[in-house]
Amino acid sequence: MFRKISTGVLRAMIVGALAAAAGIVFTVSHDYSEPTVTGRFFAFCRLILPLNLLALPLLFLGRYRLTLTDLAVLLYALYFVLHGTLTESPAEDRLILFVCLWQLYFLLRFFRSFWPRTGEWALLLLFLAGCGQAILGLKQIYGLAYSYHGLYSITGSFFNPGPYGGYMAFVFCLSLSHLVRHYSAFQIIWTDVRLRGKIVRGQVFPALLYAAGCGCMVLSFLVIPATMSRSAWVAVAGTVLLIAVTEYGLWRRLREIYTRHRLRTLSIGSAAILLLLSGAVGVYVLKKGSADGRLLAWKVTAQAIADHPSGTGAGTFGGVYAETQAALFQAGRLSAGEVAVADSPAYAFNEYLQITLEQGWPGILFFLALLFLSFRDFRSRRNEWQYALFALLLFALTSYPFRILPLLILLVMSLALQSNGIVLSGVRWGKAIGGVILFCMLFFNLYTIQTLPAKEAAYREWKSLGAFYRMELYDEDLARDYGANREPLAGEVHYWFEYGHTLNKIGRYAESNRILEKGVRQSSDPMFYNIMGNNYRSLGEYAKAEAMYEKAFSVLPNRLYPLYLLTKLYYEQGDTLKAVRSARRVQEFAPKVESPATREMKDEIRELLK
């Protein structure tokens, strides 16, 4: 009796843990500058420690066996941490988050070894979370809830519609594949209910799970088009096609129809291909500038990978991207069309390229090996998690899901809760290895929990300082308060910019440059170089100021501001010839976006020419 009660309590605690992990997506905290990002990071880090404590009895009561996928995850985690340490990665928070996600993977594996139905409960909770996110999106569309981005009416609990569309695409494909695979079982349950007039106890949970899946599929289908996320549309279309091929034998049926009606099949097939191509062109034209910008981002990132095959370290994408784009422009390897759509992205909009750039070729090979093991026996033992994972991987081709915590949690769940895997050990050795892993996880968590309060306080204070910064209330006190949070906020690009800009405004130019150089390693924003140029100009180091302005223009050659600053520098130096040449460049320049600011700059330079 006691054993049955204790088992029930442990199972209830597992369900609670799954609910907490699935519910991270709803965490929004306005105590921080980024309400939909920072609060989730701290909530997730705090969640991992109690889950570790829960896993202690579950590991030894369950029947955990080490699989090849587990080993791949372990080796990948060790490589990530080692590589980040050797490259002196500035993104400490990113390393902490990755280790916490690695822990979540093994915790879910331990939970499942104790209770095989862990995966089914995770499905139910994700279906409910998907319903909640879809309802929130519908409320935002009709003005009943506010979005988290001023330019978009629908974002769910994300900061823009892109990640929200990816999340909804995942839960849609997860629910659709569940409904398709369990349709026959649900028919049996429904027939029994109609005959008996009541539902049998063992059929309650499968029926509830199927109903939740229906609700999630319908609601998510309603909001996915409204997100205007082409990446989400492609992910859904590709996964639906995969389901049609694997679950309904689409290719086999098409071959049978072709054998009987060749001419008709060729005609319909040609029309379908034309329709598909028309749809692809329509999706491209819908946001042509954005699509061209992503193609350029891929080109620049590919060149950066060629220049840095061993990887640059987590959190360094922006800085390396800026250097590479500037080099390509200076070498004349960017066309006029590419220059027109050039930008300073924080992401590569292709996770596979960004992983390769930051982690090197070993990092992407570890990741691809992990995916291969996840789909190794897809043809014979496929499940809902694999279909949803396939949708997420398609989404990752043109977006940035692995920079978003809720989507990373979905990735980890998809990998951990699959039933497939090559077993490497028996239960006895599995528990021993699992015990070592769990001990390391607990040790890391004790360290993390000690550092979190200082980090949280720093992020809260940063939001307060940001209010003074935006009101342009620059003074020594503001600079001192910014400087007090250097270590906890070292991975935040905007922090370095605000701190460096504040120092610039109060006349501490040399120190401002030292701070801005830290941000340059992480950011592709040319404003860092502009302010550094202003600092050198104020220090009388005109050659260095000129180099900074030229670098800012090379990083983003469709911006007028660096040329404007360069012209004023030449006039200040008294170099009339260079000043006139630069002024003509300003007057002839066609900025990416015409605005009152660009017109004012041109007018000011025109006055200097008189």
Q: How far apart are CA 296 and CA 349, in angstroms?
A: 10
Per-residue model confidence (pLDDT) at position 385 = 93
Question: Cα-Cα-Cα-Cα dihedral of 479, 482, 485, 491, to 10°?
Answer: -130
Per-residue model confidence (pLDDT) at position 2 = 43
- Across 463-482, b (16+ Cβ under 10 Å) vs e yields eebeebbeeeebeeebbebb
Q: How far apart are CA 130 and CA 166, in angstroms?
A: 11
Per-residue model confidence (pLDDT) at position 558 = 87
Using an 8 Å Cβ cutoff, are 537 and 326 in contact? no
Cα 2–Cα 4–Cα 9 angle in degrees, nearest 5? 95
Question: Cα-Cα-Cα-Cα dihedral of 290, 292, 293, 299, to 10°?
Answer: 150
Per-residue model confidence (pLDDT) at position 1 = 45
* Residue pointed to by tokens 């905007």: 494
Joined together, the tokens standing for residue 521 give: 């390693």
Q: How far apart are CA 206 and CA 497, in angstroms?
A: 53
Joined together, the tokens standing for residue 412 give: 């980890």
**Nearest by Cα to 214 from 313, 139, 307, 134:** 134
**Nearest by Cα to 534 from 497, 571, 498, 562:** 562
Helices 92-114 and 405-416: crossing angle in degrees, nearest 10, is 30
Other residues' Cβ atoms within 10 Å of the Cβ of residue 542: 16
Other residues' Cβ atoms within 10 Å of the Cβ of residue 523: 23
Q: 34: buried, middle or exposed (CB in 10 Å: 19+, 13-18, 0-12)?
A: middle
**Single-letter amino acid, residue 6:** S
SS3 254: helix
Q: What is the DSSP string of 486-526?
A: TTTTTT-HHHHHHHHHHHHHTT-HHHHHHHHHHHHTT---T
Question: Cα-Cα-Cα-Cα dihedral of 501, 505, 510, 516, to 10°?
Answer: 0
Question: CB-based contacts of 12: which residues, under 8 Å, 6+ apart?
Answer: none
Cα–Cα distances in angstroms (integers) from residue 199 to residues 117, 192, 196, 333, in the given order: 20, 7, 8, 69
In this prediction, the residues of the chain whose per-residue pLDDT falls under 50 are 1-2
Using an 8 Å Cβ cutoff, are 46 and 87 in contact? no
State pLDDT tens for residues 198-240: 676 667 788 889 999 999 999 999 999 999 888 999 999 999 9
State pLDDT tens for residues 76-123: 999 998 988 888 777 778 888 898 999 999 999 999 988 889 999 999
Cα–Cα distances in angstroms (integers) from residue 539 to residues 148, 274, 574, in the given order: 41, 63, 17
**Nearest by Cα to 176 from 219, 229, 121:** 219
Q: How far apart are CA 565 and CA 159, in angstroms?
A: 33
Q: What is the DSSP string of 428-469?
A: HHHHHHHHHHHHHHHHHHHHHHHHHHHHHHHHHHHHHHHHHH
Joined together, the tokens standing for residue 518 give: 């830290």
Cα 19–Cα 22–Cα 28 angle in degrees, nearest 5? 110
Using an 8 Å Cβ cutoff, are 231 and 162 in contact? yes
Other residues' Cβ atoms within 10 Å of the Cβ of residue 96: 20
Considering the chain, tell me which residue range(s) the CATH 1.25.40.10 domain(s) occupy: 537-610
CATH number of 537-610: 1.25.40.10
Using an 8 Å Cβ cutoff, are 415 and 389 in contact? yes
